[in-house]
Amino acid sequence: MYSTDSRADFRSRVARIVGEANVLSPGGSTDFKSHYQVDGLAPALAVRPGAREEARDIVRLAREYNQSVIPIGAGTKLGIGMAPRSYDVALDITRLNRVLAYDPGDLTISVEAGCRLRDVQTLVAAQGQFLPFEPPHAADATIGGSLAANSWSLCAEGYGTPRDFVLGMEFVTGEGQLVHSGGRVVKNVTGYDLHKLMIGSFGTLGAMVSVNFRLYPLLQDQRLFAATFPSAESAFQMLHQVRTSFLKPRTLVILDPGAAALMQRSGKVFGSHPNSWILSATVAGHSAAIERHERDLKVMAAQAGGREFIVVRDEKVDETAALLREFSVKLQQERPTNIGAQIGVLTTEVFGLLCELRANAEKENFACATLFQASGPAHLTVWDDAVSTQMLEDPNNDALTRLQRMAQRIFEITNAHQGHAVIQWCPIGLKSEASVWGESRSDFTLLQKVKTIFDPSGIFSPGRFVGGL
């Protein structure tokens, strides 16, 4: 515990670095708590550095005063992870929003980590280019937050995940050192790729302050297809056909009937048959190639027993793809008493896994909806509309116990299918019972060592990650 004097001292020194206007306190703003709190815990102050060096200086001070720090972008994914062991300072990176270097001819860009992803996409689109990263929360999410959370990307089927197109990074370590890793060029084997450790580290190793990306040519012509199926077998049969063909969709997902029903309601483009499984793909590029995709996909859908084959064109494609991208987010926001899990699993295991999970949810009287991304994770949401927040807090109600049992089953079933589940969204009460990250793996000792090297005093997001890191 620290004396009030020490806190005041820390605050005034922070203000000297960033200016009084960029130090926020819980009393100062009504939005403070809702914006900066993590699992119900609010920090003593939020700091908004305006330069990368300021971020470095704040972390140095935080270390000196033993203040724990959580780096925050738009705050859209702060609910992921365990409740922090302590939380003194929110390091708000959203003023770090400058473009550091962009020569379109190089097909690379360097931006500060507080840039909104959407703004970067707009900037490069004007030059006929795009950043192949399409995570959820697209309207608000920052570069730093999306990378720290290693958010799933809708176009991963075509372009891979951030570790494939992040070329380099600058970050502030727990020792308050501003360091860089990688570079601004597409090919680089100089030194260790420390930035790969930062991707998906959920703010536990340091704070990202700038990132260099590889860009790709923007393909203007695109089309979205959706086929509806009466059974999981037929949908997965089509998935197999697509994956063993020469076709190159940029996105490829399967929706279970729970997800299909919700999409049919909101999008109106995913067919009308109730209780359907849906396979959806988007393609982009030369018109002849798009036509070929349409032709082949239609045949594959028919052969697999598809009911409907829907084609979405032109500007409707982005709109419809956005529904898929934001699907789980929307579901979670609308149903705060649910469990949202991201499950990494082999393509061959998905079918069995989803069937078991759905059967279990049904047995426990939960509704469920799943979006599975080919060669990526499955996103499962489980909920009971009859359960309210009050019921979860009532010790005499079994609502929380039921959710706990379901979470337990998600881990068990996923493990049995050689996958790994992360509970990304759940009532806070659930987090005190078990780790949302599942069990640690054989490399955990090495993860601990990495944490100690980057953040020896343990000031960054303490306790939030795998195994209490």
* Residues 131-150 within binding reach of other proteins (CB under 8 A): 150
Task: Pick between residue 11 and residue 52 the one whose CB is nearest to other proteins.
Answer: 52
Question: Which one of residues 101, 302, 359, 416 is an interface residue with other proteins (CB under 8 A)?
Answer: 101
Subset of 249-278 contacting other proteins (CB under 8 A): none
How many angstroms separate the Cα of 18 from the Cα of each of 50, 63, 74, 156? 7, 17, 19, 38
Widest distance between CA atoms in the chain? 74
Considering just the CA atoms, what is the radius of gyration of the chain in Å? 23
Subset of 202-221 contacting other proteins (CB under 8 A): 205, 210, 212, 216-220
Residue 54: CB minimum distance to other proteins, A: 13
The gap from C-alpha 39 to its chain's centroid, in whole angstroms, comes to 17
Question: Which one of residues 15, 41, 44, 289 is an interface residue with other proteins (CB under 8 A)?
Answer: 289
Q: Assess 19 for contact with other proteins (CB under 8 A).
A: no
Half-sphere exposure (Cβ direction) of 360: Cα atoms closer than 13 Å: 22
Residue 244: CB minimum distance to other proteins, A: 7
Residue 184: CB minimum distance to other proteins, A: 6
Residues in the chain: 469
Q: Assess 446 for contact with other proteins (CB under 8 A).
A: yes
Q: 3-state DSSP call for residue 125?
A: helix
Q: Assess 188 for contact with other proteins (CB under 8 A).
A: yes
C-alpha–C-alpha distance, residues 309 and 230, integer Å = 13
Subset of 369-388 contacting other proteins (CB under 8 A): 375-377
Stretch that binds other proteins, among 27-35, 65-73, 189-197, 354-362 (CB under 8 A): 189-197
Q: Assess 152 for contact with other proteins (CB under 8 A).
A: yes
Task: Pick between residue 207 and residue 392 the one whose CB is nearest to other proteins.
Answer: 207
Subset of 233-252 contacting other proteins (CB under 8 A): 240, 243-244, 246-248
Token representation of residue 237: 């049969």
The pair phi, psi for residue 226, each rounded to 5°, is -140, 130
DSSP 410-436: HHHHHHHTT-EEEEEE--HHHHTTS-T
Q: Assess 434 for contact with other proteins (CB under 8 A).
A: no
Task: Pick between residue 194 and residue 262 the one whose CB is nearest to other proteins.
Answer: 194
Stretch that binds other proteins, among 180-188, 270-278, 307-315, 323-331 (CB under 8 A): 180-188
Counting residues that bind other proteins (by CB under 8 A) gives: 103
Q: Assess 119 for contact with other proteins (CB under 8 A).
A: yes
Task: Pick between residue 43 and residue 376 the one whose CB is nearest to other proteins.
Answer: 376
Q: Assess 416 for contact with other proteins (CB under 8 A).
A: no
Q: Assess 83 for contact with other proteins (CB under 8 A).
A: no
CB contact set of 453 (below 8 Å; sequence gap of 6+): none
Token representation of residue 361: 């949810």
Q: Assess 72 for contact with other proteins (CB under 8 A).
A: no
Task: Pick between residue 170 and residue 256 the one whose CB is nearest to other proteins.
Answer: 170
Helix (H) or strand (E) holding 346: none
Question: Which one of residues 70, 82, 91, 194 is an interface residue with other proteins (CB under 8 A)?
Answer: 194
Angle (CA) 187 453 425, round 5°: 80
Half-sphere exposure (Cβ direction) of 37: Cα atoms closer than 13 Å: 12
The answer to whether the beta carbons of residues 90 and 45 sit under 8 Å apart is: yes
The pair phi, psi for residue 302, each rounded to 5°, is -65, -45
Question: Which one of residues 60, 196, 307, 409 is an interface residue with other proteins (CB under 8 A)?
Answer: 196
Q: Assess 153 for contact with other proteins (CB under 8 A).
A: no
Residue 407: CB minimum distance to other proteins, A: 15
Q: Among 225, 404, 259, 403, which Cα is nearest to 328's?
A: 259
Stretch that binds other proteins, among 38-46, 103-111, 303-311, 385-393 (CB under 8 A): 103-111
CB contact set of 247 (below 8 Å; sequence gap of 6+): 283, 292, 293, 296, 297
Residue 422: CB minimum distance to other proteins, A: 5
How many angstroms separate the Cα of 19 from the Cα of each of 14, 43, 53, 346? 8, 19, 14, 50
Q: Assess 463 for contact with other proteins (CB under 8 A).
A: no
Question: Which one of residues 1, 5, 40, 192 is an interface residue with other proteins (CB under 8 A)?
Answer: 192
Subset of 313-352 contacting other proteins (CB under 8 A): 342, 344-349
Task: Pick between residue 31 and residue 192 the one whose CB is nearest to other proteins.
Answer: 192
Residues facing residue 460 across a β-bridge:
69
Q: Assess 57 for contact with other proteins (CB under 8 A).
A: no
Residue 366: CB minimum distance to other proteins, A: 23
Q: Among 172, 82, 194, which Cα is nearest to 465's?
A: 82
Q: Assess 173 for contact with other proteins (CB under 8 A).
A: yes
Residue 450: CB minimum distance to other proteins, A: 5
In this structure, the dihedral spanned by the alpha carbons of residues 256, 258, 260 and 261, taken in order and rounded to 10 degrees, is 160
